[in-house]
């Protein structure tokens, strides 16, 4: 079968109104000898660009070429995906594959296939080196990167021009710009999403810009470091305390809502990943991007994020899973997914194509940062629990009655206990 463009197939599926074909029945006709179940996360912003359509197109093509295999896909939002998979695993009924936010705890429990046992050598060797390493425990790869991104500071060009502002390079400049934007009546001078959707990303980006982070140079958790305490204290005193982060308390503001406010023209500045580009362009918002400001100059570190494809070995079908994942990670399919959702490719071959393509020029600032970006400590079995605690607690650190030192101390205690349990 000649390979068709996934983008065209997605459009055809949308036109036919087949957005509900996943999660119950495959697109291939007739009976199948083997059914592989994939639980995946939704990268879309609504029905029109839901990841259900991406997987429907991909599995239709794969099943047409492999009539003995059916791929059954269920898509959940990022608010639910990790919990849904954990419930399945705890019940002794894991899916064949899950595309989720963390893998280490499942690998430590001996539940996952090694990538070596699934992927062909050319496919596994094609992963971006830093991401492949982040998917390893003890030098063995269990987590296969599926999507990646870095963060930059977005600013609303129209609001900046009207206020006579230039993009900030330091925290002090960012705060000064926010003061002017507030005086101009901008609803969110700086949007600070520390709500439970993705507080761990906003937090780590700020900690890195203050020369701290979740871990120290030895890899041990370091939430309570002097650098981290200084950073969160600055956020509390200089942004939140001065009313520069908008009408919604940071601990109650989710990333999706912050992005929606930016595309509505209500945000002066915020940290964003590549998918915000398309969202802003669709709404006609003129924006610029600059590296994250640091305490005393442009930050030398930025956050890198990868999501992970995992394969559970309970039901077998190793060869079939591996063959399907080889197809998923083909250069064409990685590019299709990355372009559809404005994310960075996880393979070197697709990265080279994107780096040299005029069509992808807006992603280059993010792509350039990826080789040196710092990722979450996903190789720690404790990370899933620590991540959940960050989402629940960090917003309280910048609340009017909050204490950055106390909250960071509580996170450190949680991380220490989780490490000991692991």
DSSP character string of 128-185: -HHHHHHTEETTEE-PEEEEEEE-EEEEEHHHHHHHT----SBHHHHHHHHHHHHHTT
- Residue 398 pLDDT greater than 70, yes or no: yes
Instruction: Evaluate the CA torsion angle 330, 105, 129, 304 in order and state its sign.
Output: positive
Give the integer Cα–Cα distance in Å for 353 and 299: 28
- Residue 17 pLDDT greater than 50, yes or no: no
Q: What does the pLDDT read at residue 14?
A: 40
Q: What does the pLDDT read at residue 22?
A: 41
Average pLDDT over residues 365-390: 91
- Residue 290 pLDDT greater than 60, yes or no: yes
Average pLDDT over residues 262-281: 95
Sheet containing 287-290: order of strands: 188-190, 267-272, 152-156, 287-290
Q: What does the pLDDT read at residue 376?
A: 95
Using an 8 Å Cβ cutoff, are 95 and 85 in contact? yes
Percent of the chain with pLDDT over 90: 80
By three-state DSSP, how is residue 99 classified?
Answer: strand
Average pLDDT over residues 296-317: 92
Mean confidence (pLDDT) of the chain? 91
Question: Residue 421 — pLDDT band, cuts 50, 70, 90?
Answer: confident
The residue among 275 and 72 whose pLDDT is bigger is: 72
- Residue 28 pLDDT greater than 90, yes or no: no
- Residue 62 pLDDT greater than 70, yes or no: yes
pTM > 0.85: yes or no: no
Average pLDDT over residues 407-416: 97
140-150, pLDDT tens digit by residue? Answer: 999 999 999 99
Q: What does the pLDDT read at residue 3?
A: 34
To which residue do tokens 């999501």 refer? 307
Q: What does the pLDDT read at residue 197?
A: 87
The two structure tokens encoding residue 124: 């596994």
Strand-pairing partners, residue 145, are 308
Residues near 79 by beta carbon (within 8 Å), at least 6 away in sequence: 196, 197
Using the CB atoms, write b or e for 181-208: b if 16+ within 10 Å: bbeeebbbbbbbbbbbbbbbbbbbbbbb
- Residue 10 pLDDT greater than 60, yes or no: no
Average pLDDT over residues 37-43: 96
The residue among 407 and 15 whose pLDDT is bigger is: 407
To which residue do tokens 């893998």 refer? 103
Q: What does the pLDDT read at residue 286?
A: 97
Question: Residue 19 — pLDDT band, cuts 50, 70, 90?
Answer: very low
Q: What does the pLDDT read at residue 390?
A: 97
- Residue 299 pLDDT greater than 80, yes or no: yes
Q: What does the pLDDT read at residue 25?
A: 37
- Residue 2 pLDDT greater than 60, yes or no: no
Question: Residue 422 — pLDDT band, cuts 50, 70, 90?
Answer: low
Average pLDDT over residues 16-25: 38
Question: Residue 107 — pLDDT band, cuts 50, 70, 90?
Answer: very high
Say how far residue 163 (Cα) sits from the centre of its chain.
Answer: 32
- Count H helices, E strands: the chain? 18, 12
Say how far residue 70 (Cα) sits from the centre of its chain.
Answer: 28
């Amino acid at each position: 079968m000649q390979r068709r463009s996934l983008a065209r197939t997605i459009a055809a599926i949308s036109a036919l109104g087949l957005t509900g074909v996943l999660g119950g029945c495959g697109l291939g006709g007739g009976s199948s000898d083997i059914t592989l179940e994939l639980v995946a996360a939704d990268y879309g912003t609504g029905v029109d660009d839901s990841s259900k359509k991406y997987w429907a197109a991909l599995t239709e093509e794969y099943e047409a070429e492999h009539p003995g295999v059916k791929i059954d896909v269920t898509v959940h939002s990022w608010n639910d995906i990790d919990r849904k998979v954990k419930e399945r695993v705890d019940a002794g009924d894991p899916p064949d594959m899950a595309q989720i936010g963390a893998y280490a705890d499942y690998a430590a429990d001996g539940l996952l296939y090694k990538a070596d046992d699934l992927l062909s050598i050319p496919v596994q060797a094609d992963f971006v080196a830093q991401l492949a390493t982040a998917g390893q425990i003890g030098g063995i790869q269990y987590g296969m990167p599926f999507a990646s991104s870095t963060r930059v500071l977005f600013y609303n060009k129209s609001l900046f021009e009207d206020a006579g502002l230039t993009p900030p390079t330091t925290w002090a400049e960012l705060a000064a710009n926010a003061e002017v934007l507030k005086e101009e009546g901008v609803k969110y001078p700086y949007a600070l999403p520390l709500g439970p959707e993705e507080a761990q990303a906003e937090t780590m980006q700020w900690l890195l810009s203050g020369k701290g982070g979740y871990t120290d140079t030895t890899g041990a958790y370091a939430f309570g470091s002097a650098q981290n305490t200084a950073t969160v204290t600055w956020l509390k005193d200089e942004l939140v305390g001065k009313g520069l982060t908008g009408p919604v308390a940071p601990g109650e503001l989710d990333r999706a809502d912050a992005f929606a406010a930016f595309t509505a023209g209500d945000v002066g500045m915020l940290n964003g990943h590549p998918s915000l580009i398309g969202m802003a362009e669709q709404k006609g918002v003129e924006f610029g991007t600059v590296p994250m400001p640091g305490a005393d100059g442009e930050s030398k570190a930025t956050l890198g994020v990868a999501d992970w494809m995992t394969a559970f070995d309970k039901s077998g079908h190793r060869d079939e899973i591996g063959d399907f994942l080889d197809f998923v990670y083909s250069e064409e399919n990685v590019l299709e997914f990355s372009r559809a959702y404005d994310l960075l490719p996880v393979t070197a071959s697709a990265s080279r194509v994107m780096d040299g393509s005029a069509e992808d020029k807006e992603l280059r600032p993010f792509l350039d940062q990826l080789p040196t970006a710092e990722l979450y400590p996903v190789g720690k079995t404790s990370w899933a629990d620590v991540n959940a605690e960050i989402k629940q607690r960090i917003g309280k650190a910048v609340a009017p009655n909050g204490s950055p030192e106390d909250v960071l101390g509580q996170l450190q205690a949680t991380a220490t206990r989780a490490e000991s349990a692991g």
